[in-house]
Structure 1
Amino acid sequence: MSIKSTLVTAAIGSSEKETAVGGAVAIVGATISTFLGGWDAPLKLLIFCMIVDYATGFLGAVKRNKVNSDVMFWGGIRKIVVLVVIGLAVLCDQMVGNETPVFRTLALYFYIGREGLSIVENLGVLGVPMPAFFKQMMEQLQEKGAAK
């Protein structure tokens, strides 16, 4: 097999089925990326935080012996809804003619912050050592939440 045929096979697949699936995945990925306003650093960070939050949440549930498929399912649904909100923010930016994505940026940073807090909580459940100011901040947030 020559280098040229190896490169072609790697690029488009070795069969029609593989090529069709690869093409379909590319089209779906490009469509979702466009709906979410492009594949930039803030969106990558949000997706990464979502994955880490889901994984650390699962590990925390395993540690506490509280794994619940219903909770995991709805956690995944919530993450999909967050992405829908990001898409809605993109549409709002387009509607008002913003050249810079103001609503999208606000939504992304808000959800990155929420995912980050959830990751810190999950790491606490897992017993990962954290700086004292993180622990104090989390205790204050928990107290404010309990007061409502």
Structure 2
Amino acid sequence: MLFNQLKLMGSTVLSAAAGASGKEAATGGVVAALGLFATLLGGWDKPLQFLIALMVADYVTGILGAIKTKSVNSEVMFWGGIRKITILFVVGLAVLIDGWVGDDSAVFRILAVYFYAGREGLSVMENLGILGVYIPPKIKEFLEQLNEKGEQQNDKAKYR
């Protein structure tokens, strides 16, 4: 099924590019690549749009927070981008698992998208706190507890 979709998309791109100017071919190629990307991630639905919006918001607020605290680091930014790509890779794997299980349900994809949307949302909240945006006390307390648990697990991992 996926192979047939890729084959159809490839033939559409090639037929559209034939006889087109360089700009038209480039635009068509970019649109086709985005369509292929969305297809591999299970479709361009609201949950995926929300996840990608949160990923962009996390990256932008992370950069702004680093600028504010004067701790901009290109290596941290690079690995943050790699983390975002890895999240999308995991969503793509979840789509493949859903296809393998059959039943035309996207259970694993939805679980992956919602899990990573939650993580990205928490990261955005942390970044907004660094930027000085008001965060309700309950959310701030929850984020502090998560941070402490993360530090404890990092300490345990160091001594293994």
Same fold judged by TM-score > 0.5? yes
Give, as a single letter, the amino acid of the residue that structure 1 aligns with 2:129. G
Superimposed CA distance per residue, residues 38-71 of structure 1 (whole angstroms, 9 cap, x where no aligned partner)? 0000000000000000000000000111001111
1:146 is displaced (CA, Å) by 2.8
Superimposed CA distance per residue, residues 18-49 of structure 1 (whole angstroms, 9 cap, x where no aligned partner)? 11011101211111111000000000000000
Give, as a single letter, the amino acid of the residue that structure 1 aligns with 2:126. E
1:135 is displaced (CA, Å) by 1.1
Superimposed CA distance per residue, residues 58-100 of structure 1 (whole angstroms, 9 cap, x where no aligned partner)? 0000011100111101100110111011000000000110311
Match of 2:80 in 1: 75
Give, as a single letter, the amino acid of the residue that structure 2 aligns with 1:119. V
Give, as a single letter, the amino acid of the residue that structure 1 aligns with 2:111. L
Runs of 4 or more above 4 Å deviation: none
Equivalent in 130, 134, 142 of residue 135 of structure 2: 130
Q: Does 1:95 align with 2:109?
A: no
CA distance in 2, matches of 1:143, 1:100: 37
CA distance in 2, matches of 1:141, 1:131: 16
Match of 2:123 in 1: 118
What is the TM-score of this pair, normalised by structure 2? 0.81
The count of aligned residue pairs is 135
Superposition map of 1:1-148 within 5 A: 16-148=21-153
Q: Percent identity?
A: 55
Give, as a single letter, the amino acid of the residue that structure 2 aligns with 1:99. D
CA distance in 2, matches of 1:106, 1:143: 26
CA distance in 2, matches of 1:137, 1:78: 23
Match of 2:16 in 1: none
SS of alignment partner, residue 99 of structure 1: coil
* Greater relative CO (CA pairs within 8 A, separation 6+): 1
1:144 is displaced (CA, Å) by 2.0
Q: For the aligned residues, what is the CA RMSD?
A: 1.4
CA distance in 2, matches of 1:54, 1:127: 17
Q: Which moved more, 1:131-140 or 1:99-108?
A: 131-140
